Amino acid sequence: MKPTVHDIAQAAGVSLATVDRVLNRRPGVREATRKRVEDAIRRIGFVRDVAAANLAKGRTYSIAFVIPSGDNSFMHALKREIEEAKRRSAHERTEIRLVEVPPFDARALAAALRDLSAEPPSGVALVAVEAPEVVAEIARLRENGTAVVTLVSDLSAEARDHFAGVDNLAAGRTAGSLMGRFLTGRNGKVAVIAGSMMVGDHRDRLQGFRERLGELHPGLDILPVMEGHDSPEEVFRLVSQVLAEHPSLAGIYNLGAGNRGLIRALSERGASDPRPVVIAHELTPHSRQALDAGLIDAILNQDAGHEVRSAIRVLRARADDLPVIDAQERIRIDIFLKDNLP
């Protein structure tokens, strides 16, 4: 039989009321008595059933997701996963709220977080923009007892409680490794398109890409990064321009979104020999079709559903002061070629 609160009370020589105060971290217990109860808990191997305790207290977790709006296929996928989590949430005693803000807009993101501080939820998951006003609003939420998880794009570890996303430095190095191997024996220039250097995931991917490609293929010249703001129209304009200026371009790495613009520019250019090697992020219907057609050579993908579920698990664990299982929350980087499309 599993140990119960009665066993704790007997082992510690205290009342059930005292055990309840210690388990729920309420005041009114002397430090020596608290230590005696905690020692008894460890000694008899008591594991609290948090779900049952929350059910008995009628507790509900309140979680807010703050994500960018706009025409970004991956963010649309993230939004669908959040909506799916909302449909499940009633059965999990969780209330989920979705807040959308303009992409790469630090001021709007800070304002949304400030609004949440008026009635602080149990937890907040956000796609972070690195700016002082955003960090300050996150600090305000955490001071009020709200756990904060960064989603997809991270901040410094001390500014949040957890990050639900891939290792973006490793993702960039992986893209650099793929580009270097695809371009073995070929020199030239490589174009890089980012969404914005204001977000940590794009900076990390760029750093990793430059480092690894430089190690593997120092003969390649990486052009100055272009910011497409994850807009298909802006990415189309930038890629069309760089292809016109560099007809023998060796490679293109789109480390952000806006793949529809990239695909359109490649399609309108038509066949070229040799054509640039193209690596992009996120497997969507458009990028899948381009991969199958040979316009894109490799796609690095992250599972939006896993990230949303991970953020919810972590925020619930923080609310209950339970440990996070790191192995369960690790988000992997998937590599797709034309040959292994699911």
pLDDT at 274: 83
Residue 236, exposed/middle/buried by CB under 10 A (0-12, 13-18, 19+)?
A: buried
pLDDT band at 60 (very low <50, low <70, confident <90, very high): confident
Coil, strand, or helix at residue 4? coil
Whether 57-165+304-329 shares its CATH topology with 168-301 is answered: yes
Do 123 and 99 touch, CB atoms closer than 8 A? no
Q: How far apart are CA 60 and CA 92, in angstroms?
A: 8
Q: Which residue matches tokens 């207290």?
A: 57
Share of the chain above pLDDT 70, in %: 94
pLDDT digits (tens, 9 = 90+) for 106-163: 999 999 999 999 999 999 999 999 999 999 999 999 998 999 999 999 999 999 999 9
Alpha-helix runs per DSSP H in 225-301: 232-245, 259-269, 285-293
Angle at 195 between CA 336 and CA 303, to 5 degrees: 35
Neighbours of 5 (CB within 10 A): 15
Mean pLDDT of the chain: 92
pLDDT tens-place string over residues 84-93:
999 987 776 7
Q: Per-residue DSSP letters for 20-60?
A: HHHHTT-S---HHHHHHHHHHHHHHT----HHHHHHHHT--
Residue 51 pLDDT exceeds 60? no
The SS3 assignment for 140 reads helix
> For position 53, what pLDDT does the model report?
58
Note the CATH number of domain 57-165+304-329.
3.40.50.2300
Identity of the amino acid at 259: N
- Domains of the chain, by residue range, sit at 5-48, 57-165+304-329, 168-301
What average pLDDT does the segment 49-64 reach? 66
pLDDT of residue 45: 83
Give me 122's structure tokens. Answer: 């149990």
Interval 254-278 mean pLDDT: 92
Q: Kindly report, residue by residue over 319-342, the tens digit of the pLDDT.
A: 887 788 888 899 999 999 999 999
Q: Is the dihedral of CA 88, 304, 67, 327 positive or negative?
A: positive
Q: With 70 as the cut, is the pLDDT of residue 54 above it? A: no
Mean predicted confidence (pLDDT) in 224-230: 97
Buried-state track 264-277, b at ≥16 Cβ within 10 A, e below 16: bbbeebeeeeebbb
* Cβ–Cβ under 8 Å, residues 194 and 252: no
CATH for the stretch 168-301: 3.40.50.2300
Question: Quick one: what percent of the chain has pLDDT higher than 90?
Answer: 73
Between 330 and 59, whose confidence is greater? 330
Average pLDDT over residues 177-200: 96
Topology of domain 5-48 in CATH is 434 Repressor (Amino-terminal Domain) (1.10.260)
Q: Which stretch of 3-7, 123-127, 198-202 has the lowest confidence by average pLDDT?
A: 3-7
**Mean pLDDT calculated for residue range 268-288:** 90
According to the model, what pLDDT value does residue 50 have?
56
Helix axes 168-182, 200-216, angle to 10 degrees: 30
Binned at pLDDT 50, 70 and 90, residue 52 comes out as: low
Q: Which of residues 191 and 270 earns the better pLDDT score?
A: 191
Over residues 37-62, mean pLDDT: 72
Q: Is the pLDDT of residue 62 over 80?
A: yes
Q: Residue 100: what are its φ and ψ, rounded to 5°?
A: -110, 140
Q: Which pLDDT score, from 0 to 100, does residue 59 have?
A: 60
Instruction: Give the pLDDT of residue 38.
Output: 87
